[in-house]
Amino acid sequence: MYIHQLKEWPSFNWNQEKLLQLLSEVRHRQGRLIGKMEGLGFQLQKEAMLQTITLEIVKSSEIEGEILDADQVRSSIARRLGIEIAGLVPTDRNVEGVVEMMLDATQNFSKSLTQDRLFGWHASLFPTGYSGMLKIVVGTWRTNKPEDPMQVISGAMGKEKVHFQAPDAKVLPKEMKRFLEWFNSKMDIDPLLKSAIAHLWFVTIHPFDDGNGRIARTIADMQLARADGIPQRFYSMSAQIRLERKSYYDILEKTQKATFDITEWLVWFLNCLDKALIAAEKNVSGVLQKARYWEWLRNKKLNERQQLMVNKMLDGFDGKLNSTKWAKIAKCSHDTALRDINDLVAQGVLIKEAGGSKNTSYILSKIK
């Protein structure tokens, strides 16, 4: 039986002693990171937040096998938050929808989570009413029949493995009412644990035709914002979950089929959060280095294309940069790309790497 089928559902319990030290360590790292970010200054905070929310949205979709254009996501976030960046690009409505959902959850974390708010998030995720080629019911709870249960399945036809079966659609109004009352209530529970429980509980109910995983992670992020007490996001749980995707699905499946003791899930969640915080601390160093580089560039003359490409290189360019890639990304002719590159070489911003004329690649100059 799945835990939602047990008579005592949802009477979650856990071994507090097994969590105390880990919870204390994660809390300490969380406080230290927020302290560092508050010391960066407003502009650098915005840069760090832009990177973090972009990463969170892209990786949360990636966990479900959907690849979003990171430049579109970044541009959409920047426009909505009023952050000035070089190289803004047009965004499609799928990207706009998922950005709208994440920003509503994290920027308005203190507002109650309601049925209508969840319906709005779901509609934002699927603006066309389709998930791939599949037509889905948007902005309402799923309505599948008992003979067609909501299941998570893997494997080829005839050899399918059922990993999980969600509650019947007829109980969803009651189940979601209970979940939302719990989520919005104040209680004597650590807010980080509440984030983990909310994630598990929502995924177990699985109230929508599609998008349950992304919305569960968004709800967890909303609760983490409540735990931080600030709307700024400086660490990405989804980026770490993406790195541990198999163990993520394994622990969720195991917890669904076990007892109401969710200690193992809470330990997994806290360890994942701890790693996300460690990665964020490294990101702070990157943001500071990037700020120093732009400060050095203040005395240089860069056009908009050059600003865009330098920014991409500072963010970590994938592979080697050459004139062909420059022309493609900056959407200009090859001759224009060469002029842009040669100008930056002359200004000491770019350095040629070894190679023939057709394979010449470039790196950023190092600054002291």
Strand 130-131 and strand 362-364: pairing?
Answer: unpaired
Mean pLDDT comparison of 76-85, 169-178, 288-297, 325-334, highest-scoring range: 169-178
Q: Is residue 257 part of a domain?
A: yes
Q: Is residue 191 part of a domain?
A: yes
What is the Cα–Cα distance from 199 to 176, expressed in whole angstroms? 13
Q: Is the dihedral of CA 259, 261, 263, 269 positive or negative?
A: positive
Question: Are residues 136 and 221 both part of a single domain?
Answer: yes
DSSP letter for 162, please.
E
Question: Are residues 151 and 34 both part of a single domain?
Answer: yes
Question: What's the pLDDT at 356?
Answer: 55
Q: Who has greater pLDDT, 353 or 276?
A: 276
Question: Are residues 180 and 225 both part of a single domain?
Answer: yes
Instruction: Supply 157's token pair.
Output: 């036809």
pLDDT in tens, 114-163: 999 999 999 999 998 888 888 888 989 999 998 888 888 876 667 778 88
Q: Which domain holds residue 335?
A: 303-364
Q: Is residue 337 part of a domain?
A: yes
Mean pLDDT comparison of 35-49, 215-229, 282-296, highest-scoring range: 215-229
What is the Cα–Cα distance from 47 to 31, expressed in whole angstroms? 20
Instruction: Supply 87's token pair.
Output: 């190289």
What is the Cα–Cα distance from 312 to 82, expressed in whole angstroms? 20
Nearest partner of 282 among 227, 246, 239, judged by Cα: 239
Question: What's the pLDDT at 191?
Answer: 96
Question: Are residues 41 and 65 both part of a single domain?
Answer: yes
Q: Is the Cβ–Cβ distance between 196 and 266 less than 8 Å? A: yes
Q: Is the Cβ–Cβ distance between 33 and 280 less than 8 Å? A: yes
Q: Is the pLDDT of residue 168 over 90?
A: yes
Question: Are residues 169 and 205 both part of a single domain?
Answer: yes
Q: Is the pLDDT of residue 357 over 60?
A: no
pLDDT band of residue 187 (cuts 50, 70, 90) is confident
Mean pLDDT of 230-244: 94
Question: Are residues 220 and 311 both part of a single domain?
Answer: no
Domain at 219, CATH number: 1.10.3290.10
Question: What's the pLDDT at 146?
Answer: 87
Q: Is the pLDDT of residue 355 over 80?
A: no
Q: Is the pLDDT of residue 91 over 90?
A: yes
Q: Is residue 178 part of a domain?
A: yes
From 289, 323, 339, the end of a domain falls on: 289
Question: Are residues 204 and 348 both part of a single domain?
Answer: no
Q: Is the Cβ–Cβ distance between 255 and 264 less than 8 Å? A: yes
What is the Cα–Cα distance from 133 to 365, expressed in whole angstroms? 47
Q: Is residue 296 part of a domain?
A: no
Question: What's the pLDDT at 124?
Answer: 94
pTM of the model: 0.83
From 233, 261, 289, the end of a domain falls on: 289
Instruction: Supply 312's token pair.
Output: 């991409």
What is the Cα–Cα distance from 2 to 165, expressed in whole angstroms? 8
pLDDT in tens, 298-332: 889 999 899 989 988 887 777 788 999 999 999 99
Question: What's the pLDDT at 132?
Answer: 81
What is the Cα–Cα distance from 115 to 139, expressed in whole angstroms? 10
Q: Is the dihedral of CA 204, 205, 209, 212 positive or negative?
A: negative
Give me the percent of the chain exceeding a pLDDT of 70: 97
Give me the torsion for CA of 33, 37, 188, 23, rounded to 10°.
Answer: -10
Instruction: Supply 340's token pair.
Output: 């842009």
Q: Is residue 48 part of a domain?
A: yes
From 289, 313, 334, the end of a domain falls on: 289
Domain at 345, CATH number: 1.10.10.10
SS (H, E, C) 199-238: HHHHHHHCCCCCCHHHHHHHHHHHHHHHHHCCCCCCCCHH
Q: How many domains does the chain have?
A: 2
Q: Is residue 294 part of a domain?
A: no
3-state secondary structure of 153: strand
What is the Cα–Cα distance from 115 to 141, expressed in whole angstroms? 9
Q: Is the Cβ–Cβ distance between 198 and 183 less than 8 Å? A: yes
Say how far residue 44 (Cα) sits from the centre of its chain. 20
Q: Return the residue matching tokens 């700024």.
A: 232
Q: Is the pLDDT of residue 32 over 70?
A: yes
Question: Are residues 354 and 247 both part of a single domain?
Answer: no
Least confident span in 74-78, 171-175, 287-291:
287-291
Question: What's the pLDDT at 290?
Answer: 79
Nearest partner of 182 among 166, 204, 198, judged by Cα: 198
The residues near 295 (Cβ < 8 Å, ≥ 6 apart) are none
Mean pLDDT for the chain? 91
Question: Across-strand partners of 321?
Answer: 362
Mean pLDDT comparison of 25-29, 30-34, 35-39, highest-scoring range: 25-29
Q: Is the pLDDT of residue 284 over 60?
A: yes
Question: Are residues 150 and 285 both part of a single domain?
Answer: yes
Q: Kindly report the backbone phi and psi dihedral angles of residue 355, in degrees, each rounded to the nearest multiple of 5, phi listed first.
A: 150, 165
Question: Are residues 210 and 104 both part of a single domain?
Answer: yes
Q: Is residue 232 part of a domain?
A: yes
Question: Are residues 20 and 144 both part of a single domain?
Answer: yes
Question: Are residues 281 and 333 both part of a single domain?
Answer: no
